[in-house]
Amino acid sequence: MENYHEPGKKIPFLKIILIGILFILVQSFLQQYDKVSVVFSQYIGYFTPLLYALFTAVFLEPIVKKTESHFNMKRWLAVLVVVIIFLLIIIGFISIIIPEVVQSCRELYDKIPFIQEQAGKLLNRVFDFLRDKKIDVIAQSEIQEAITGFVRRNLGKFRDFGFSFVLNVFWWSVAITKFFIGFFMGALILLDKDYFIRIIKNGLKIVFGGTRSEIVYDFADKSRLSLLSYIWGRVIASVFVAGLILIVTLIAKVPYAFLSSIMILIGNMVPYVGSILTGAISVFLVLVSEPGKVIWMLLAICTAQFCDSWFIGPRIVSQTMGIKTFWVILSILIGGSFFGPVGMFFGVPILCVVRLIYHLFLEKREKNENGTIL
């Protein structure tokens, strides 16, 4: 048998092993998605503080760097100032916003029977209006029963969630503890950033070698910047949208102002899809509680989304990401189908990474065709 191995050339056993392990993991995930999801959900809790730490370090690094350079601070002092500010923001959010949201949830829970009754009456008025306009609706009773059942089931889920939320105090205590442990570990990473960067570069050298490790690190750094641009852009846009809606609804004394603002704040982190869903839920809650105030909720949502779509979004998100709307929606749909809400949020950053890989290979191919060396 002919030997194709060149004498004196080392076989990259470590790369082959890593690629093989990665291939096995991907194949197992695709073939046994349900089992892999169960195992992943059972053991991911052990690594949750580490994930919080990495996210905290990556998320706060630009702020620490700007604080360090702008105020001419030492590294440790800049980290301390940023950490204290964010802890105060978190504590203020927990102590001011959360009680209002809990109060709104309690009021909403007490009104569940009333909301079901109002939803039925609203649906009857819609069908009566259609009959007055001589618009025939096929299978009216089946449609009415289906919509009423849908509202009843989802309100029941909200009631069950309220019970589990209140009773599962131990789980929430553990989750909050893990978050603060991860936050503290992230601060330690920020304090000794150069040390951890050196560890990462050395690990890449072991796996990819000297020259390729620099390419891989540069690619990872560009991916990190894309992720930060997206997250910070969505955070700023969502805070603006939720803040504007909160101000308008508080002035107009719209019910569930804090609850609606928090839902829209979270939902707006997912472009297009999240803001539409949470906005529709907020409008529905006001519609069945105080129909006369729904115009203020619609006005606040439309105004905030208009500002987000035409001013904030293009300036903060679109210009930094450079991705067309079609690809954004497609990435959200694919991410959501595989990983739910988390996949919908990280679908766009993952698309940015794919886009970077695409341009990297395209640039390499063009240089090779022009007779140059990458």
Indicate the residue type of 12.
P
307 contact partners, CB below 8 Å, separation of at least 6: 240, 241, 244
Question: Any idea which of 2-6, 149-153, 277-281, 344-348 has the lowest mean pLDDT?
Answer: 2-6
Average pLDDT over residues 213-239: 83
Structure tokens at 31: 């073939």
Rounded Cα–Cα distance for residues 164 and 181 (Å): 25
Tell me the per-residue pLDDT of 42-79, one tens digit each, with 9 for 90 and over. 666 677 888 889 889 988 998 999 999 989 989 999 99
Q: Model-level pTM?
A: 0.68
Tell me the per-residue pLDDT of 162-195, one tens digit each, with 9 for 90 and over. 555 555 666 777 778 888 899 999 999 999 988 9
Q: Which residue has the higher pLDDT, 239 or 339?
A: 239
pLDDT at 212: 80
Answer whether 127's CB lies under 8 Å from 140's CB: yes
Q: Three-class SS string for the chain?
A: CCCCCCCCCCCCHHHHHHHHHHHHHHHHHHHCHHHHHHHHHHHHHHHHHHHHHHHHHHHHHHHHHHHHHHCCCCHHHHHHHHHHHHHHHHHHHHHHHHHHHHHHHHHHHHCHHHHHHHHHHHHHHHHHHHHHCCCCCCCHHHHHHHHHHHHHHHHHHHHHHHHHHHHCHHHHHHHHHHHHHHHHHHHHHHHCHHHHHHHHHHHHHHHHCHHHHHHHHHHHHHHHHHHHHHHHHHHHHHHHHHHHHHHHHHHCCCCCHHHHHHHHHHHCCCCCHHHHHHHHHHHHHHHHHCHHHHHHHHHHHHHHHHHHHHHHHHHHHHHHHCCCHHHHHHHHHHHHHHHHHHHHHHHHHHHHHHHHHHHHHHHHHHHHHCCCCC
Tell me the per-residue pLDDT of 295-319, one tens digit each, with 9 for 90 and over. 999 999 998 888 877 777 666 555 5
CA 203 from chain centre, in angstroms, equals 29
Structure tokens at 263: 């839902």
Q: Is residue 1 very low, low, confident or very high in pLDDT (cuts 50, 70, 90)?
A: very low
Indicate the residue type of 117.
E
